[in-house]
Amino acid sequence: MLERGEVANSWRRERWDSLRLLTPNWQSRLPGHRYEGPDPDGYMTMGEVIEFIERFAAVSRAPVRTGTDVTSVRRTDDGYHVTTSRGEIGCRAVVIASGACNRPTVPQFTDAVPASVLQLTPFDYRGPTHLPDGGVLVVGASATGVQLAAELKRSGRPVILSVGEHVRLPRLYRGRDVLWWMDASGVWDQRHDEVDDLTRARRLPSPQLVGTPERGTLDLNVLAATGVELVGRWAAVRDGRALFSGGLRNVFSLADLKMRRLLDSFDEWARAHGREAEVDPPERFAPTHVPESARWQLDLRSGEIRTIVWATGFRPDYGWLDVPVVDAKGRLRHEGGVVDSPGLYALGLPVLRRRKSTFIHGIEDDAREVIDHLTRCLAVRR
């Protein structure tokens, strides 16, 4: 196992200070290792996640070579040649487990933003104290964007949040964590070959969730109530002005309708499986409130905004992979983690084999199946 930094490296270096896991503690389970603390319904801080993964590395006695950066993987006659910062390795099979979030993605028009405005990605952001005073424009309303908008607003700054398509979820539904429902009702176990539109499922943004001791919901209504100003998707920069889409109302409708369908499916599942007694009565949440008139432009030179935080997603980085298995959009071509090159595999990518593939507890089933394929493949080729 090659690790460019330390065990749990991205949790140590690529996360902001206040972040907690979106999944409740009881869901943090790896083969032979689970959360056993006093707060199963709580959400781990980054320090706790690092400790959890370190402990798993120890109990599983994973042969981790830390501080080993892979700079190239090349195909050979009988396997792969791996070049690292600590030497060369020949092997018959490679499992890529470097994740889907190696680089923040930002739109092309960042160059057109005036230099007087500081631009940050989630990789640069640690907390509000590191930002200049004054207004902040947070771009993107998935988990990262809503969390940073809330935190920056609490720090006393004016915050504008640019909202495109998003996934709205309540933190608790009928008294249970919404991720309990995802787990119990079988949504998370849905396999990649059962999902209607796999490409869309793999591109689904992270839901508007936050892990806090209060177990509160962090949707756009909550943000708006704290004074965060909502604007449409940022479409372009023209003459130093940010231009936002006038289609805000429809992204609200799409998210409200999707959430409602999901909650309907939870209710249906509870009825069909005799679980009604375990949970509170069904609830419905108010539609996302549409501002009287959302502005569609903002003068970036006016000083109203001092900082832009790009919470516009992440992409994998396969710059080191010298095997032609990456598509035009920079995504790995694979079928359930089996990459289109003998002996090459992937784990931990969105909906790799199941909807839960990118969650900590989602790796076990995927890993079993992928490694099973790998061992059979090696046995045949021997």
Binding site for other proteins (CB under 8 A): 165, 232-233, 235-236, 238, 243, 245-247, 250, 253-254, 257, 260-261, 293
Buried b (16+ CB within 10 A) or exposed e, 56-68: bbeeeeeeeeeeb
Dig out the tokens for 279 from the structure.
């949970």
CA angle 161, 163, 166 (to 5 degrees): 130
Greatest alpha-carbon pair distance for the chain in Å reads 68
Dig out the tokens for 289 from the structure.
């409130």
Nearer to other proteins, 235 or 326 (CB): 235
Nearer to other proteins, 44 or 137 (CB): 137
Question: CA 208 to CA 218: how far, in whole Å?
Answer: 6
Nearer to other proteins, 225 or 328 (CB): 328
Give least dist CB 311 to other proteins, A.
Answer: 20
Give least dist CB 231 to other proteins, A.
Answer: 12
- Report how far apart, in Å, the C-alpha atoms of 184 and of each of 176, 187, 282, 300 are: 11, 8, 16, 47
Length of the chain: 382
Give least dist CB 57 to other proteins, A.
Answer: 41
Give least dist CB 296 to other proteins, A.
Answer: 8
Give least dist CB 250 to other proteins, A.
Answer: 4
In sequence order, what are the residues at sequence separation of 6 or more whose Cβ sits closer than 8 angstroms to the Cβ of residue 40?
24, 25, 26
Give least dist CB 30 to other proteins, A.
Answer: 37
Nearer to other proteins, 232 or 337 (CB): 232
Question: CA 243 to CA 239: how far, in whole Å?
Answer: 10
**DSSP class per residue in 227-271:** TPEEE--EEEEETTEEEE-S-HHHHHHHHHHHHHHHHHHHHHHHH
Question: CA 356 to CA 122: how far, in whole Å?
Answer: 23
Give least dist CB 166 to other proteins, A.
Answer: 13
CB 365 within 8 A of CB 353: yes
Nearer to other proteins, 232 or 362 (CB): 232
Give least dist CB 251 to other proteins, A.
Answer: 9
Give least dist CB 224 to other proteins, A.
Answer: 19
In the β-sheet with 338-339, what is the strand arrangement from edge to edge?
94-96, 344-346, 338-339, 334-335
DSSP helix/strand/coil, 327: coil
Nearer to other proteins, 30 or 204 (CB): 204
